[in-house]
Amino acid sequence: MGQIKEKCIMSAKKAKVKATGYDIGCRVVMALAAISVPIAAYFADLIYYVIESPVFKLLAQYSGNENDDGSTYGYLGINMFVKKILPLIQESSENKTSLTNLLTNLSDIKAPLIVTTVFFALTIVIALAVFVSVIASNNTKIHFGISVAGLVSTIAMFISFRYVSAPIVSGTVNLGDFFESALMKTLLPFVASVSTFNLSTAWVIMLVIFIGLIVLSGANLIINAGEKTKANK
């Protein structure tokens, strides 16, 4: 009887060590994935846009370039925003009239732009929360819950951004609205227009990471539940 009891204890200890090793491995992977969210958000392209210009198309055809359809493709990201666009905004902020006029011109997208920014920041904060939680705790329920919150925030960011892009693509907010010059405001809508304005690589990476975190933490929950069931038998 004593030998049987001893064997049971030894088996339980081995199972515990094995489960702990697996749990640590999952937590390491989840921590690396979570910290990749803010990195991707900063360095990867966040917005993809296409600007079409019938004027450029005519000029290209006149010069003999039949393959040029007058479209300009490009990407915007946080890294570019910080290095190139933010200094321009800071210069505009010194001129309160210019900044006020810009905000007035963009009134149709001001509210959804703020909401999108809030969800973007919230997604980053949640990713950092996942990182801290998997390092500080082995509670898979917490990891799973925070990961679900991150996915919801990422999807909400996409939905709110649709309300930013729709007026820009439809022409309700045109390229001229971003300039103070009356000449630019008048001419730009006839020269060029935005045909595509979508979330790009950074958002896709964030979405995939949170889905992966949910799958991994969910699988860990199932495995732990199975181990507890076996231990109780």
> Which pLDDT score, from 0 to 100, does residue 86 have?
67
Is residue 78 a part of any domain in this protein? yes
Is residue 112 a part of any domain in this protein? yes
Is residue 160 within 8 A of residue 226, CB to CB? The reply is no
Is residue 4 a part of any domain in this protein? no
Which residue is it, tokens 């006839």? 190
Is residue 115 within 8 A of residue 125, CB to CB? The reply is no
Is residue 233 a part of any domain in this protein? no
pLDDT tens profile 146-170: 999 999 999 999 999 999 999 999 9
Reading the block at residue 143, the tokens are 């990891």
Domain of residue 80 covers 32-217
Residues in the chain, overall count: 233
Is residue 24 a part of any domain in this protein? no
Count how many domains the chain has.
1
Tell me how far apart the alpha carbons of residues 70 and 57 are, in angstroms, rounded to a whole number.
4
pLDDT tens profile 25-68: 889 999 999 999 999 999 999 999 999 988 877 877 777 777 77
Residue 9 has pLDDT above 50, yes or no: no
Is beta strand 71-76 parallel, antiparallel or unpaired with respect to 47-52? antiparallel
Is residue 12 a part of any domain in this protein? no
Distances in Å between the Cα of 26 and the Cα atoms of 23, 49, 80, 171, 222 are: 5, 37, 34, 48, 13
More confident residue, 80 or 214: 214
Is residue 185 a part of any domain in this protein? yes
Tell me how far apart the alpha carbons of residues 178 and 103 are, in angstroms, rounded to a whole number.
9
Is residue 192 a part of any domain in this protein? yes
pLDDT tens profile 202-229: 999 999 999 999 999 999 888 877 666 6
Is residue 192 within 8 A of residue 52, CB to CB? The reply is yes
pTM: 0.81
pLDDT tens profile 107-117: 889 999 999 99
Burial (Cβ within 10 Å: 0-12, 13-18, ≥19) of residue 34: buried
